[in-house]
Amino acid sequence: MTIKIGDRMPEGNFGVMTKDGPGSLSAAELFKGRKVVLFAVPGAFTPTCSMNHLPGYLKHAADIQAKGVDAIACMSVNDTFVMDAWGKDKQVGDKVKMLADGNATYTRALGLELDASGFGMGQRSQRFAIVVQDGVVKQLHVEAPREFKVSSAEHVLQNL
């Protein structure tokens, strides 16, 4: 079942890179008592994700945070090392938290998985953005197949 506005975000964990190597961040740690924009991409280093999606959130991070957002997080069905390398490649710094969902466990819990095996990518996440307030979904923007509109930083910023 796909998550919807008014639902609580599911429990679960994300892979994150720490100064000591791969670590974990729970959904509760990410969302509790905070306003968070979580956006997901089908894959790190893929064209739309690298040229438009992540760069848009980097460009508009300060404007998004000025609207009361405590954190911006990017999730992908990739491992922690890939998400860390992608973050370094795109010079993310502390503007966007890079979250690995290596086995698509959290993506499946959201009901937003995508079968990209036709492209040789296996199970991935649909492209989406969720505005979460204290663990509750306030906005949900899921892209139609092969589109990039409603999950963009610009669209989310306009709707905050």
Taking only the tens place, the pLDDT of each residue in 85-112 is: 999 999 999 999 999 999 999 999 999 9
Indicate whether 3 belongs to any domain: no
Name the pTM for this structure. Answer: 0.93
Q: What is the CATH number of the domain that holds 22?
A: 3.40.30.10
pLDDT reported for residue 120: 61
Indicate whether 58 belongs to any domain: yes
> Is 49 an annotated catalytic residue?
yes
Which two structure tokens, joined as six digits, stand for 137? 């979904």
> Closest by alpha carbon to 44, among 98, 8, 4?
98
Distance of alpha carbon 32 from the chain centroid: 16
d(CA 130, CA 151): 8
Burial of 146 (0-12, 13-18, 19+ CB in 10 A): exposed
pLDDT reported for residue 121: 67
Burial of 61 (0-12, 13-18, 19+ CB in 10 A): buried
| SS3 call for 46 | coil
Catalytic residue among 30, 36, 38, 49: 49
Indicate whether 2 belongs to any domain: no
Taking only the tens place, the pLDDT of each residue in 106-123 is: 999 999 987 666 666 657
For 148, list phi and psi in degrees, rounded to 5.
-145, 90
Indicate whether 115 belongs to any domain: yes
The range of the structural domain enclosing residue 69 comes to 13-159
Indicate whether 87 belongs to any domain: yes
- Domains contained in the chain, number: 1
Task: For the chain, list residues with pLDDT below 50.
Answer: none
pLDDT reported for residue 78: 93
Sign, Cα dihedral of 15, 18, 23, 26? negative
List the beta bridge partners of residue 72.
37
